[in-house]
Structure 1
Amino acid sequence: MIAAHADWSTDPRKRWITRACRSGGAWRAAAPELVGDTAGLLPRLLAAGLPVALGLDLPLGLPRDYAAARREADFPAFLRGLAGRPEFFVVSPTLATVSPERPFYPARGIAGMTRAAHAAALGLAGPLGLSRWCDRATAERPAGAPLFWTLGANQSGKAAIAAWRDWIVPALTAAAPIRLWPFEGGLHALLAPGTVVLAEVYPAEALRHCGLTLGGSKRAQAPRRALAPALRAAMAARRVTPDAALAAMVQAGFGADAAGEDRFDSVIGLLGLIGVLDGARPDFVPDDPWIRRWEGWVLGQTALPRGPA
């Protein structure tokens, strides 16, 4: 089979994918490359006719408090229904234009803006309703940003817009052979020749699953270069052999340019995905119908958030 992980961004220059092919129980991984034309991504991944597992560093799912008012059966049906609705993806500059049909906010920083006001504009009871359960803090990591929030370094809303609008929704509309984990089943059950299974994979989560710790910011080359010996050991533990270009990139800390952190994340995400594919981590999803139908989960995550769902 083929495993791949794409570190997604609104900027195509920071959108990198790392691929590996499994044969005889071991993996051969290539160096990260730019995703390039999104319309050609699925055909490139499916060219060999093998099952493909594709990890994506972006949200796949909706908060349950928002989903409770939807008429669709589940998140995949919701995505398909976004075809021909470009207004859904327009980020509101002020709360005056925020609504369930235009939920992303804010387009820029505004004095006095709060997530509580954002939640109220969406008809939610409070700011906690903006988050999926898997976005909330666990004993292992802090909380992630809510899906519809689009401001700050920690936000993921813009990546969701770029991937959903420009790639996933058009692919679903065209009946492309893609399946969405965990909404349509377990990871291994969904894998089939000629099919791409999309799963939400966070490099920061995968880094911990691989037993790796950066001694500084991932945005700097030096900490990434210092991690090279431990990263090579983690790859060996996952039975992943890098090709010459990837081995050189690991040794060099993924380069000194601004895209170095994105290439790094694409490799770490791939190792997290492979860990679940090969059983080093469980294909765990909480037994909660809201999570399985609407909210989704982070692949490989077993730590439950603090507090009730």
Structure 2
Amino acid sequence: MIAAHADWSLAPAKRWMAVAERAGGSWRAEAPRPVGDTAQLLPRLLSSGQPVALGLDLPLGVPRDWAAARPEPDFPSFLAGLAQDPGFFCVAATLDQVSPARPFYPARGIKGMTRAAHAAALGLAGAASLSRLCDRATALRPAGAPVFWTLGANQSGKAAIAAWRDWIAPALAAGAPIALWPFAGPLHGLLASGRITLAEVYPAEALRQLGLKLSGSKRVQAPRRAMAEALRAAMARLRVTPSPALAAAIADGFGADAAGEDRLDCVLGLLALIAVLDGAQPDHIPDDPWIRRWEGWVLGQTEMPRQVISG
């Protein structure tokens, strides 16, 4: 089996992926590499003919209050249809450009803008309606940004646009052998030779699931280097052997350049994915039809948010 995790971004230079192959009861993990040409991503991962599980640090799902007005039965059907709707991905510069058919906002910072105003422009009841259940804060981690929001350091809207528009939607529309977790069912039931299963994995959630802590900002090399021993111990628990290049990257804190945090994130995501594949972390999907059809979930997350959505 092949496991991989890609740390995604609107900027190609910020897209990094870590890959591991399972043989018997253990894994060999390679050092992170640039994702490269997105048109070749799926063929490259599927070239061995083995089952592939690919974690992605980007939203796979949309909020239920927005989805309630959609005609499609579920998120995968909706996503496949976006291959014929490029206007959907145009980020609105002003609120009067926002609509359910053009939900991403804002193109740039504007004085006085709020998420409540964004929600109102989409016909939603309030700012909370912009978030999926898995985006909300839990007792163990802060909230993530809403899917359609594209401003700020923790926004994920731009990564969603880049991945949905440039390769996931066209691949689904073309009938590529892709399954989307959790919409198609539990992870282990989706793994098959010649198929790639996509799952949403958050590095911040992965860090918690792996029992790791950073002593400072992940954007700085020194805290990443200080975590090396704990990261190696987590890999040993999961029976993951690093290649010499990966071992060197871990010891070095993944480099001094700006992409160091991206290389760390894709390794954290890879280990969290392997933990679920090998049963060290549960393949938990809440029993909520909106989650299973439209919102999606974060792989390995078991905590429900502090504020639960009804309906």
Partner of 1:63: 63
Letter in 2 for 1:204: A
Matched with 1:129 is 129
1:52 aligns with 2:52: yes
Return the alpha-carbon distance in structure 1 between the equivalents of residues 162 and 5 of structure 2. Answer: 16
Residue of structure 1 in register with 2:11 after alignment = 11
Q: Deviations over 1:75-123 (max 9, x none)?
A: 0000011112111000000001000000000001111101111001000
**Cα separation, 2, equivalents of 1:187 and 1:217:** 32
1:80-99 matched pairs, under 5 angstroms: 80-99=80-99
> Where does residue 112 of structure 1 map in the other structure?
112
SS in 2 for 1:284: coil
**AA of the residue aligned to 1:174:** A
CA separation in 2, counterparts of 1:272 and 1:199? Answer: 11
Q: Report Cα offsets for 1:107-152 as digits up to 9, x if no partner.
A: 0111110111100100001111100000001000111110000000
What TM-score do you get using the length of structure 2 for normalisation? 0.99
Aligned AA (1:66): W
Report the counterpart of residue 79 of structure 2 in structure 1.
Answer: 79
- Give the structure 2 partner of residue 173 of structure 1: 173
Residues 65 and 129, structure 2, Cα contact 8 Å, conserved in 1: yes
Where does residue 233 of structure 2 map in the other structure?
233
Number of equivalenced pairs: 309
TM-superposed deviation, 1:170: 1.1
Q: How well do the aligned residues superpose, as a CA RMSD in angstroms?
A: 0.5
Amino acid at match of 2:186: G
Pair 1:294 & 2:290 matched: no
Q: Distance in 1 between matches of 2:160 and 2:283?
A: 23
Q: Is the 8 A contact 2:31 2:245 kept in 1?
A: yes
Distance 2:231 2:74 in 1: 38
Match of 1:217?
A: 217
Whole-angstrom distance in 1 between the partners of 2:45 and 2:151: 32
Which ranges of structure 1 fall in alignment gaps of 5 or more residues? none
1:237-276 counterparts in 2 under 5 A? Answer: 237-276=237-276
In structure 2, what is the Cα distance between the partners aligned to 1:152 and 1:293? 28
Instruction: Give the match's secondary structure for 2:84.
Output: coil
1:308 positional shift: 2.1
Q: Does structure 1 conserve the Cα–Cα contact (< 8 Å) formed by 2:219 and 2:258?
A: yes
Contact 2:136 2:307 in 1 (8 A): no
Q: CA deviation at 1:307?
A: 2.0
- One-letter amino acid of the counterpart of residue 70, structure 1: R
Q: Which residue of structure 2 lines up, in the alignment, with residue 24 of structure 1?
A: 24
1:191-243 deviations in whole A, cap 9, x for unaligned?
A: 00000000000011011111100000000000000100110000001100000
Q: Distance in 2 between matches of 1:156 and 1:213?
A: 22
Which residue of the partner structure matches residue 138 of structure 1? 138
CA–CA separation in structure 1 for the residues paired with 2:254 and 2:222: 10
Structure 1: distance between partners of 2:33 and 2:142: 30
> Residues 154-165 of structure 1: matches in 2 within 5 Å?
154-165=154-165
Shift of 1:173: 1.5
TM-score (norm 1): 0.99
Give the distance between the partners of 1:240 and 1:118, measured in 2 at CA: 44
Letter in structure 1 aligned against 2:262: D
Q: Given residue 77 of structure 2, which amino acid in structure 1 is its aligned partner?
A: A
Q: Note the C-alpha offset of 1:24.
A: 0.7
Return the letter of the residue paired with 1:122: L
Q: Cα deviations across residues 140-178 of structure 1 (Å, max 9, x unaligned)? A: 011111000000001000000000000101111111111
